[in-house]
Chains A and B, each alone.
Chain A
Amino acid sequence: MGLLTSPTAGGSSKKFANILIKWEPVVSPLLYIAGIIWFLALAYHPYNAGTYFSENALLPGLVTNEFSDGSELARLLKALEAEAADHPDTVPHPWIRAQFRQLGLQVYPHNFTLRYPLGNGSVFHGENTYAVLRAPRSGSTEALVLSAPYRRPGAPHPPNHAAVAMLVALAKYFRRQVYWAKDIVFLVTEHEQLGVAAWLSAYHQQPVGHGLLDAGDLPGRAGSIQAAINLEVESATVSHVDVLVEGLNGQLPNLDLVKMAHWICHQEHIQHTTQGRADHPRPHSEAGYRHSLQTLLHMMASQAAGTPTGNHGHYLRSVAPVEGNHGHYLRYGIQAVTLRALDDRSMPGPRSGLSHLARVLEGMFRSLNNLLERFHQSFFFYLMPATGRYISIGLYMPPFALVAIGIVLRALTCWLRLPDTDDSEGRQQEAEGAESDGKKGGNACDRPSEPCVLPCVLAPHALGAVTLAGLVPLTQLLAAAGWPTERAVFAGLLTVSVGSLLLPAITSRRSALSESGRLLLRCVTLIELGLLVFTAALFNISLALIVTTLYTPVALSARYYSSAPARLLASLCLLLVHPFTLQLAAVALGAPALAWRAVLAADQRALAVALVDSLVYGARLLDVACTVLLPLWLQMWTLVHCG
């Protein structure tokens, strides 16, 4: 009967506090280790779940796919390749449009302009072509999109002519079918993801990129887009199809769509992979576990990056596969995946032809055509250790919470250890503490008896905000001096990172921190870190888990050590997890064979790309790193160096 009534009351909170203060230093590391072990165990086949169809309306693979016009496909591919060779500097829009128009589709152009914000600021123009197959007897209220980026012969990426040819061939086939209930949009984009981002922005009349991207308007539309498939076909023979899922800011498409893509590939006997990795034949074995763990880590690395930037030569490119254009659909609530058909020599098994792949797409579109409601049934938050397995949010959250709970417990301990006199004052402190939590500890100075930690908290945050805001003007300034953008960004961030190491000296000169002041600063720092990782875990678990795993040990041990070697060790550990160092490490991990000079160059490029992603597409990684992670790191650095 004692349910909901506290077994202890009154003065026993002191007892609880004492227990917490006594045991927390032991419990937190234990929980951290347990959490990591638990999470790693989730990759093991029996500990995760098999994917399944939640949305019964999809009815995947209930029909026999009938596309068989392989010769037409080959003819189109040949014609397009000839056209591309004739016009190496432009997109053969006239040819593409003529093909669609001959089929009786409504064909529209779309122009967009990007004012590149960095450096000297150049202007890029682009043009997309899209054709709409109007479904008979429907009111153009719903649509599906099949898109393919067009790549010029000299582009850094493998050509994608086969995908464009397949769009035309499928349009021809789809045109003759009577069962369509949704309009189908065939979209050929230019400038990789920029084209898709601009087209979607114009379709929804929703500006992106802080006014840098002028998306224009579309002459024709097809209702609310239900799902999209982005297609990349690198060669005429296909060893396997890779299904790319990670989108902008770590968003993922509905698991039903992903399952459907894998399932139809499976039905058509095309080898299908996730993260470029096929399933292990014996997932229960130790080798099988290691295989799925690697796949899981690949997915996490790719999701943590949170930017569909593969086409720019992302710094994680060699770790994670190139991210596809589908990433931009997700922000509009359109479920999308990229199917990337490759001919990988190292991949065993038979090769398939293009008409085989066309049947896969036919199957997917016929399935999507069956949809009665938007995708909403299955998971939006998951991790995939194999093509047919998933770890849902319900499975990965508890281990994540274990990894991160140490931060919260330590913050609580610090708060409890703050000297207080009697109950009434304690209550007052609590109230103020709650307030200061809300304002990142900014109000700590309201207590005259406490040492002032305000500058130690505000100064790093101000520095972070100024850094982020100052990068664009800096590149413009240095461009006048002849510096390339990449080097300017790198130099700017390096200067801030090195210069800010002196911050403790400046802030602590103004107000030396006492013991309790340091405790309060620790508490505030830990609470802010906890806030960051738990919030991030809700939309990008990979990023949150990586940050938590790296930052929890240093955050727990960040305090002033009186012995010099210990302080040096703590400083070294902190330097290892500096956001700048982490970024460099990620690039180096992605390119292990490169020399340091090449790694440095790749790092410069990656930073510039991250800045462009943040400005044009709204990728949030750089913003968070500059405005939250860097200040947090500086607060920890202050803690270690404020004797």
Chain B
Amino acid sequence: MAAPCGGSGFRRWLVLLFLFANSLCSDQFNESLLIKPLTSGHVISKFDFVIGTDNISGAHFHLVPRHLAEVISHHHVLELHLSLTQGFWRHDIWGYPARQAGTGAQLWVWFDPDTPSVDESWSSLVNALSGLFCASLNFMDRTVTTSPEFAFRPAGVVSDPSELESRLLRVASLPREATCTENLTPWQKLLPCGAASGLSTLLNPTHLYSTSYHSLSVDFRPVCADTSCSRLRYEITQSVTLVHEPVTTPRRDGPRQDWSMKSLFGRGLYDACAVAERSDIFVDTAANGSYPFVLSPAPHSEVTSIVAGHTATYAAYSVTNLTSGGGGVNLRAAYSRPHRHGWTPSLPLTVTQYQTGSGQYSVGLSLQLRNADRLSPLDVSVLQVVPWYIRLYLHTLQVTVDGQVIKPVYQRLVPGRDRQRPYTLELGVRIPAGRVATVSVQAERAFLKWHEYPPDANHGFYLPGAVVSALLPAQNCTRHPIRSPPVEGGRVFVRLSAENQLVTLPTPDFSMPYNVICLVCTVVALAFGPLHNICTKRLLLVPVSEEKPGIAARIKSNLGRLMWWRRAADQSDTASSQSPAEASQSSAAKVKSTKAD
């Protein structure tokens, strides 16, 4: 921006200020939408909104949402990964996810090594995030939180080895948490353009929540500012992942899996976010070979991305160019061949979890890991967190392949403690080529205290599914053309969630206690009086003496007034010495309480 010469001093000052502010402000914002149509007819769409900044703990923010930044800096957070997910990522149909997210809410946070108390920071952080995202994250207390050693390593830059100690990591998930618009609205408010313009206008709740799978996430991590990594920057990535069921349009020669922005999101796109440096739409054309489709409008360019030896091509659009003509743009794909169901990808690793056994006492958990590669074994890392009320019998933990017990490469077991911490199992398993390894463990269902049951106690209790990590070929991953996933040894790092489990705990009949309490109270009330009387009281006759007591007797009686127990004993003596007739004549009889022997 050129400063106008010869203007008034005030104007010059204003312009200088603006330039100064701009140079100070390092914030960058990119938005992108990746659409990946699958051969099965499902359409995966992933929105990414990335804010990069140099400073997270300052007092002035440009694009970074201030309330999130304050929560992050106040709690000494190095990395934060939050996801709110509805539905289960069916990797056996959809391939591997770009970002793992277990059904429900999942949060994992790395804290700064200088944090005074990680536990206190964590507990304060989950409460703050709970308010920020309108989710029940405050239930992530110590009974569900764990610090695994292997499964959740830092995703960003680690500047010091002491930052890798697992005591700084907290992982928790709430498998029962439901995600809805109440979470979407605060999430959208964190975006620089909110829901007002740009790609986030496509996040239309009615269409968003009729998909098969949707996941909101927020990731905060440190990244390198330059190639030499001499300086750190921070990156806040907000993303939404959606999987749309195949929608087929009938044609004369068979149904077609045509899709368009209107069919997927319910509306077209009108503009890009004004503060975004880049605003892109990518369409993965990998499925174009088996089911050719034609995009309209035509793509602006083609992007090729090579990750771990695997080449993926994308049709790329710049939203600014796309919407420059004014009016809405409806990106469409028209297929030339009829759609057929039944296609499934051939995946090197598939994971499925289930519970075994029946009844109210014992339960088993099994995790099947299938290595489809017939030539080489596959190393996977398994993390299983089990709430304390499913009491694992750790001696029954075993890994079997075709009925043969094999030894895990490593294992780390942290036994749970009632009402204090969950069981944490971490295993490294080498699955032989072309085999299925089964990790199984037996457990006992605890009988909870009556107030620990939720209102719908008979619904059952959710167990978070296992998290399985492995290095896999890049073929079946949903990946972004620009931001590639972590690669190691020519393979891509993939983290997967297994199915959550719904386990029935022994549940009391909650209508019964009421009846029992009423009945018992009545019985106790009726029985207590007589029992108490029988045990503690004796029926005594106290005669009223008619003759005038002598002086000695008067003194004795006065003394007796002081020592009432003596008096009672004396009177009983007197009573026994009297004849029954005399006793009946006496007009007054008193009942005295004496302690029964």
Name A's B-contacting residues (CB within 8 A): 1-5, 101-106, 134, 136-142, 178, 204-206, 220-221, 223-224, 331-333, 372-374, 376
Contact = CB atoms under 8 A, between A and B. Distances in A.
B493 interface: no
A500 B104 CA distance: 66
B103 interface: yes
A332 B341 contact: no
A224 B356 contact: no
A137 B175 contact: no
A5 B352 contact: no
Given A104-B246, A205-B364, A333-B358, A136 B211 contact: yes
Interface residues of B, number: 52
Contact of A206 (B93, B357, B459): B357
Contact of A3 (B86, B92, B509, B530): B530
B280 to A, nearest CB: 28
B438 to A, nearest CB: 9
A102 B342 contact: yes
Contacts of B86: 137
Contact of B504 (A104, A221, A374): A374
Contacts of B212: 134, 136-137
A101 B93 CA distance: 13
B355 A3 contact: no
B11 interface: no
B76 interface: no
Nearest to B89: A139
Given A103-B341, A137-B214, A372-B456, A220 B502 contact: no
Contacts of B92: 106
A134 B90 contact: yes
A181 B22 CA distance: 51
B231 to A, nearest CB: 42
Contacts of A102: 340-342
A132 to B, nearest CB: 11
Given A137-B86, A137-B211, A1 B533 contact: yes
9 contacts: A3-B527, A5-B534, A102-B341, A104-B342, A206-B358, A224-B502, A224-B503, A373-B456, A376-B509
Nearest to A101: B342
A392 to B, nearest CB: 15
A139 B87 contact: yes
B366 interface: yes
Contacts of B457: 373
Nearest to A331: B358
B209 interface: yes
Which of the listed residues A220, A224, A331 has the most CB atoms from chain B within 10 Å of its own CB?
A224
Contacts of A372: 456, 459
A376 B458 contact: yes
B96 interface: no
A139 B175 contact: yes
Given A223-B499, A333-B359, 11 more contacts: A136-B210, A137-B87, A137-B213, A139-B103, A139-B499, A139-B500, A221-B354, A223-B354, A372-B459, A373-B458, A376-B458
B507 interface: yes
Give the top 4 A-B pairs by smallest Cβ distance, nearest first: A373-B458, A205-B356, A139-B103, A104-B341
Contact of B356 (A2, A178, A206): A206
A327 B460 CA distance: 23
Contacts of B509: 376
A1 B534 CA distance: 10
Interface in B498-519: 499-504, 507, 509
B335 interface: no
A206 B460 CA distance: 20
A140 B88 contact: yes
Contacts of A331: 358
Interface in B523-562: 526-527, 529-531, 533-534
Nearest to B88: A139
Contacts of A105: 341
Contact of B499 (A140, A178, A206): A140
Contacts of B499: 139-141, 223
Contacts of B504: 224, 333, 374
Nearest to B534: A5
Contact of B502 (A2, A141, A332): A141
A141 B211 contact: no
A460 to B, nearest CB: 33
B245 interface: yes
Contacts of A205: 354, 356-357, 364, 366
A372 B459 CA distance: 6
A301 to B, nearest CB: 28
Interface in B330-387: 340-342, 352, 354-359, 364, 366
B41 interface: yes
B356 A138 contact: no
Contacts of A178: 210
Contact of A1 (B210, B211, B529): B529
B92 to A, nearest CB: 8
B88 A138 contact: yes
Nearest to B527: A4
A224 B103 contact: no
Interface in B569-584: none
A495 to B, nearest CB: 39
B462 interface: yes
A141 B501 contact: yes
Contacts of B460: 224, 373-374
A137 B366 contact: no
B530 A4 contact: yes
Contacts of A224: 355, 460, 501-504
Given A141-B501, A224-B502, A1 B364 contact: no
A1 B537 CA distance: 14
Contact of B526 (A3, A106, A136): A3
A139 B174 CA distance: 13
B341 A4 contact: no
A603 B387 CA distance: 54
A625 B210 CA distance: 57
A1 B529 CA distance: 8
A101 B245 CA distance: 15
A539 to B, nearest CB: 15
B513 to A, nearest CB: 15
Nearest to B245: A136
Nearest to A107: B342
A7 to B, nearest CB: 13
A376 B507 contact: yes
Nearest to A102: B341
Nearest to B40: A104
